[in-house]
Amino acid sequence: MIEKLKAVSPWRRFTAQPGNVGAALRKNSQFLITLAVIALAATFMLSQGSGFAVRVIQLSAIFAILAVSLNLVIGYTGLLSLAHVGFFGIGAYSVAVLTTHPAYEQVPGHIRYFDWPFFAALPVGMLVAGVVALFVGGVLSRFRDDIFVLVTFGLAVIAHRVFLFWLPVTRGAFGIHAIEKPSIFGFVFDGKTEFMLLTLGFLALVVFVSWLVVSSSFGRVLMAIREDEGAIEVFGYKARNYKLTIWVISAMMAAVAGGLSASEQTYIDPQSFVLLESIFLVCIVILGGLASLVGSLLGALVFVLLMEGMRFIDFIPDALVGQGRLAILGILIVLLMVFRPQGLVGRYKL
Partner 1 sequence: MSSSAAERGQEYALETKGLLKQFASVKAINHLTIAVPRGGITSIVGPNGSGKSTLINMLSGTLPIDEGMVVLDGTALRVIKPYDSPSHGVTRTFQEVRLFDQMSLWDNMLVVLTKRNVLGALLERAGTAHSSRAQELLEMVGLWDKRAAFAEELSYGQRKLLEIARALAMDVKLYLFDEPFAGLFPAVLEKVKVLLQDLKKEGKTIIFIEHNMDLIRELSDYIFVLDSGELLAEGEVHEVLARPEVIEAYLGT
Partner 2 sequence: MLKYLGARDGRWSVSGLLTQRSLSVLLIAGAVFYVVLILAQDPQKFLQFTLNGIVIGAIYAMVAMGFTLVYGTVWFFDLSYGAMATIGGYTVFYLSGQQRTIGRGSIHNTAVDIFVGALVAGVVAWVLYTWLYPNLRNRFDRRLLLASGFVLSILAGGYTGFLLSQPLSLNLIFGPVVGVMVAILAVWLLHLALGRPKTTSLKMAVAATVGLALGAYTALLLAVTPGANLYLSWVVGAAIAGATGLALYRGLYFYLRRRASSPLIMLVGSLGVLLTLTALVSIVFSPDGRPLPPPFGETPWRFWGASIKPFQVFNIGFTFVVFAGLVLLLFRTSFGKAVRAIGDDEEVARIVGINAPVIIAVIFALGAAIAATGGILLGEDLGIKPTNGLVLLLKGWVAAVVGGIGNIYGAILGGFVLGMVENYGVWFIPAAWKDAIAFGLLILFLSFWSRGLLPRK
Note the residues at the interface with partner 2 (CB under 8 A). Answer: 80, 139, 142-147, 149-151, 153-155, 157-158, 161-162, 164-165, 275, 279, 282-283, 286, 319-320, 322-327, 329-334, 336-338, 341, 349-350
Distance in Å, CB of 311 to partner 1, minimum: 39
**Cβ-based nearer residue to partner 1, 18 or 230:** 230
Cβ nearer to partner 2, comparing 55 with 340: 340
The radius of gyration computed from the CA coordinates of the chain, to the nearest angstrom, equals 22
Least separation in angstroms between CB 139 and partner 2: 6
- Cα(26)–Cα(47) distance, integer angstroms: 31
Could you tell me how many residues make up the chain? Answer: 350
Binding to partner 1 (CB under 8 A) within 195-224 occurs at 213, 215-221, 223-224
Least Å from the CB of residue 237 to partner 1: 6
Task: Restricting to residues 221-250, name those near partner 1 by CB under 8 A.
Answer: 221, 223-224, 226-228, 230-239, 241-242, 245
18 binding partner 1? (CB under 8 A): no
β-pair partners for 268: 176
Residues of span 255-314 touching partner 1 by CB under 8 A: none
Report, in Å, the least distance between residue 213 CB and partner 1. 7
Could you tell me if 341 and 297 are in contact, meaning their C-beta atoms sit under 8 angstroms apart? no
Question: Which of the ranges 162-170, 194-202, 329-337, 341-349 carries the binding residues for partner 1, by CB under 8 A?
Answer: 341-349
Q: Closest distance between partner 2 and the C-beta of residue 189, in Å?
A: 35
| Residues in a beta bridge with 187 | 184
Of 137 and 270, CB closest to partner 1: 137
Q: Which does 217 bind (CB under 5 to 8 A by kind): partner 1, partner 2, none?
A: partner 1
Taking the complex as a whole, the smallest distance from the CB of residue 234 to partner 1 amounts, in Å, to 5
Distance CA 323, CA 318 (A): 10
Phi-psi region of 270 (alpha: psi -120 to 50; beta: other; left: phi over 0): alpha
User: Out of partner 1, partner 2, none, which partner does residue 171 contact, by CB within 5 to 8 A per kind?
Assistant: none
Quick one: 162 or 197, whose CB is closer to partner 2? 162
**What 8-state DSSP symbol labels residue 349?**
-
The answer for 178, left when phi > 0, alpha when psi is -120 to 50, beta otherwise, is left
DSSP for 61-121, please give it: HHHHHHHHHHHIIIIIT----S-HHHHHHHHHHHHHHHH--GGG-SSTTSS------HHHH
Residue 246: which of 274, 225, 275 has the closest Cα?
A: 225
The closest of 286, 220, 292 to 31, measured between CA atoms, is 292
Q: How far apart are CA 216 and CA 97, in angstroms?
A: 36
| Between 1 and 234, CB nearer to partner 1 | 234
**Residue ranges binding partner 1 (CB under 8 A):** 213, 215-221, 223-224, 226-228, 230-239, 241-242, 245, 347-349
